[in-house]
Chain A
Amino acid sequence: MEEDSKKLDAVLGRRSVPEMRSNLEYRIIQAAKAGRQVQKEKGFFAGLNAAIDEFFCGLALPKPAISMSVVLVLAIMTGVYSDNAFVPDLEEANNMAVYMDFEQVAGYGGSYE
């Protein structure tokens, strides 16, 4: 058992690692330098894009449900407080009711005595 373990360690020790195929250190150092250079060159445009994105994000509508609720409330308030042709005032409404009443009575042949 002990012997097997020693043999195993010896066999495992035979495992080798091949040499690197290329000058990896140099490649990594250059890639890092190049990457930082590209980042710097892109810096101005990246900043500009970010500012534009932020601006449009600010303009974007909030959640649809909230937007609809706000629009509905605004519409109701506008309707309540506005004085336009579609909303008759109280006197006019009374006259209209009397007129409608008369029309109704007339239509039934004077059963209204």
Chain B
Amino acid sequence: MGVSPINYTDYSDESLMDLVVKEDHEAFSVLVTRYTKMFYAAAYRSCGDQDAAEDIVQDAFLKLWNRPGIWDSSRGAKFSTWFYRVVTNQAIDYMRKQKNTKGSDALERISDDKESAQDGMERAEKEGMLEGAIQDLPERQKTALNLCFYEGLSNKDAAGIMGVSVKGLESLLMRAKTGLKDTLKRNGMLDNEDDYKEVSNGRG
């Protein structure tokens, strides 16, 4: 099969999905290229494991390719919002299977950075603590936090993905933040004014 003469890069996600349903591999490739990084980040934030996050995203895309019928364009949903749900569900399944068997990668990956050993250790410790605190949140609170805070979805979209009302989502977010505040305070992570200044306005 040669390279398709059609340039799909300008197509909307939904138009590409219509082509994927017709087994158009080129359209599928464009979708994969467009979204892999974003959904990898979402999967990583859900499970805290690089390899697992890659597997989750790969499985989700292959599921879409092998069974494109799971996408129902007539519902009028945005592809990215709908696919968040697919990836989030895969990640939740993974976490249920892996519960208590593996920690996060945060400490491990910091050791690769080219900074002084002392700084690296300190940063690794803080990141590990933060990642641990987030991973320890109840599943739904964590998902709400990830979707709204890190993925930047609107409350309405996030509520739709999670199958809860907007009020319910806000309650989950509130509880997640309260729980995190308590945990991080206990570990002294909210006391250091320098940390706060250093990262203010930073995201993701």
Contacts and interface: CB of A to CB of B under 8 A. Distances in A.
B57 A28 contact: yes
Of A9, A14, A22, the most chain B CB neighbours within 10 A belong to: A14
A57 interface: no
Interface stretch (A29-37, A63-71, A75-83): A29-37
Given A25-B32, A29-B29, A13 B199 contact: yes
Given A4-B190, A28-B62, A31-B58, A20 B202 contact: no
B200 A10 contact: yes
A17 B54 CA distance: 12
Given A10-B202, A13-B203, A15-B131, A28 B196 contact: no
Interface residues of B, number: 46
Nearest to A8: B181
A28 B36 contact: yes
Nearest to B29: A29
Contacts of B185: 4
B177 A8 contact: yes
Interface of B: 23, 25, 28-29, 32-33, 36-37, 40-41, 44-45, 50-51, 54, 57-58, 61-62, 65-66, 105, 109, 126-127, 130-131, 134, 145, 149-150, 177, 180-181, 184-185, 189-190, 195-196, 199-204
11 contacts: A11-B184, A11-B190, A14-B195, A14-B202, A20-B36, A20-B50, A22-B54, A24-B36, A24-B58, A33-B25, A36-B25
